[in-house]
Amino acid sequence: MSIESERDLIGLLRIGRIVGLTLQTMLAQVRPGITTAELDAIGAEFLRREGARSAPILTYKFPGATCISLNDEAAHGIPGDRVIAAGDLVNIDVSAELDGYFADTGATLPVPPVTPLKQKLADCARAALDKGLAAAVAGNRIFDIGRAMENEVKRCGFRIIRDLPGHGVGRKLHEPPSVPGFYTKHANQILPEGLVITIEPFVSTRANRIVTASDGWTLKTPDGSPAAQYEHTVVITKGQPLLVTAV
């Protein structure tokens, strides 16, 4: 969507704050011994108290209020009885709807003690997000975002997962345009002021593609290499983007 009124901006900022706070509440509870279902229940209860609805459930009938992906799971991990352990990479992706507006955010948390490689991977994904945000300026093109993120990931010695782009968001969970995490000349749309998108680099130590697990939802690296992701919903401006999901 694009921001067309003050009402749009207020509605988007309201749901953005809710999903951002939900994510931070869940991240604060990540510890060895907690199950991903227990973690998801914390997020589901936070959304319920705020009057928001889980976007994965609302849009796709996903079997969880949030997506929780561990280690080689890049995205769409189903909450369940899996127990989080020391050394895991835990990715939490929260998206929700309130009053017709959607927002989407995510982060990866290494559970100490982790290997230096996993820590570097998580740090790289966060740095790539920062580079993408810096390039998300009205008048630039979508491929400027992808190029900035891909260059940072290459600098780290890692790889962008090319199957999982960012996307438009706002009226629905997933809208045009696609926002690839890498440079492609085809992503040449000029970024207009007011456009609402997610910026979300998915980074792996070795893989640049994903496969779907037997559960039909979870997206994993085909070679078992760990993956990390960070994400914000943003509004494009003439300067730095407005971070809708920052808290």
pLDDT of res. 62: 98
pLDDT of res. 152: 98
The pLDDT confidence band at residue 64, using thresholds 50, 70 and 90, is very high
pLDDT of res. 127: 98
The pLDDT confidence band at residue 47, using thresholds 50, 70 and 90, is very high
Q: What is the pLDDT of residues 221-244, one digit of tens each?
A: 999 999 999 999 999 999 999 999
pLDDT of res. 164: 98
Q: What is the pLDDT of residues 96-119, one digit of tens each?
A: 999 999 999 999 999 999 999 999
Around 64, how many Cα atoms within 13 Å sit in the side-chain half-sphere? 25
Residue 219 pairs in a beta bridge with 75, 212
pLDDT of res. 120: 98
H or E element, residue 166:
strand 166-168
CA distance 113 to 133: 30
Q: 191 is written with which tokens?
A: 């970024």
What average pLDDT does the segment 118-134 reach? 98
What average pLDDT does the segment 175-196 reach? 98
The pLDDT confidence band at residue 44, using thresholds 50, 70 and 90, is very high
Q: Taking the CB of residue 189, how many other CB atoms lie within 10 A of it?
A: 14
Summary mean pLDDT of the chain = 98
What average pLDDT does the segment 130-151 reach? 98
What average pLDDT does the segment 211-221 reach? 98
Domain 6-243 part of CATH 3.20.20.105: no
Q: What is the pLDDT of residues 7-39, one digit of tens each?
A: 999 999 999 999 999 999 999 999 999 999 999
The pLDDT confidence band at residue 193, using thresholds 50, 70 and 90, is very high
Nearest to 56 by CA among 16, 90, 102: 102
Predicted TM-score (pTM) of this structure: 0.97
pLDDT of res. 110: 98
Q: 194 is written with which tokens?
A: 């007011």
pLDDT of res. 121: 98
Q: What residue spans define the domains of the chain?
A: 6-243
H or E element, residue 198:
strand 196-199
Nearest to 84 by CA among 65, 101, 68: 68
pLDDT of res. 138: 98
3-state secondary structure of 50: helix
